[in-house]
Amino acid sequence: MIIITFEGLDKSGKKSQSELLYQALYERGYNVEKSEFHRYDTPTGQLIRKFLDGEYQANQLAIECIMAADKYAQLDWFEEIKEKTDVLILDRYLTSQFAYSTANGVDIDFTLSLLDRMPEPNFEFFLDISPEESMKRKGKWGENDKYESDSALLSKARDNYLRIMTIEQESDRALILDGTKEVEELHKQILDRTLSLLEEKKVA
């Protein structure tokens, strides 16, 4: 099983692209699964949603622990599906927490240690948009939440993303894409790279 993730600022198109990739791979006969972080239908995810909506107050270290717990809650499922799944597609994953936690002033070593038992992604697609573009796009949850409405936070998170993704792209483990391009154009680039990854895995 290879793990492919979509990363980027809020409303950068991650959900749309993950769903398009899922459908394209499914239609080609691949065994494919998808999930997202955070899962707002879980107890940990609901607590995160309340935090983002301003209904729950906690310090940032506590929030990072809850966000990590939300990921670990799916770890058993990862293990269950890995033998029968070709591709697991994730809308946000580890890099998202690294980028945002550091933007919120949390030491990166703290976040790295929290998530060191989660499997690493095989490849990441980073949909790059500006904070201004993120803030003006319509989101799933209506009005911008605590993170979505904080321009300074989004700027820091984007800088962190770019720093991480540039290194990963140089190692051929990520692809930085212009998130303002047309949906279908982005999808074609993403699908082509994913199919080549699957071919490489078959050869290996």
Q: What is the pLDDT of residue 147?
A: 82
Q: What angle do CA 113, 151, 67 make, to 5 degrees?
A: 25
CA distance 156 to 134: 13
- pLDDT per residue over 14-69, tens digit each? 999 999 999 999 999 999 999 999 989 999 999 999 999 999 999 999 999 999 99
User: Which of the four pLDDT bands, split at 50, 70 and 90, describes residue 149?
Assistant: confident
Residue 141 sits in a domain whose CATH number is: 3.40.50.300
Determine the average pLDDT of the residues in 167-172: 97
- Residue pLDDT, tens place only, 153-166: 999 999 999 999 99
Range of the domain at 185: 2-203
Predicted pLDDT at 69: 97
Average pLDDT over residues 154-182: 97
pTM of the full predicted structure? 0.93
Predicted local confidence at residue 180, as pLDDT: 96
User: CA dist 174 to 55, 130, 142, 183, Å?
Assistant: 35, 19, 30, 19
> Over pLDDT 70: what percentage of the chain?
95
Could you give the number of structural domains in the chain?
Answer: 1
Q: Is the pLDDT of residue 140 over 70?
A: no
8 Å CB contact between 62 and 89: no
Mention every residue, 6+ apart, whose C-beta is less than 8 A from residue 192. Answer: none
DSSP label of 106: -
Residue 139 confidence class, pLDDT cut points 50, 70, 90: low
- Residue 197's pLDDT is 95
pLDDT for position 25: 98
For 67-111, write each residue's pLDDT tens digit: 999 999 999 999 999 999 999 999 999 999 999 999 999 999 999
Q: In which band, very low, low, confident or very high, does the pLDDT at 1 lie, cut at 50, 70 and 90?
A: very high
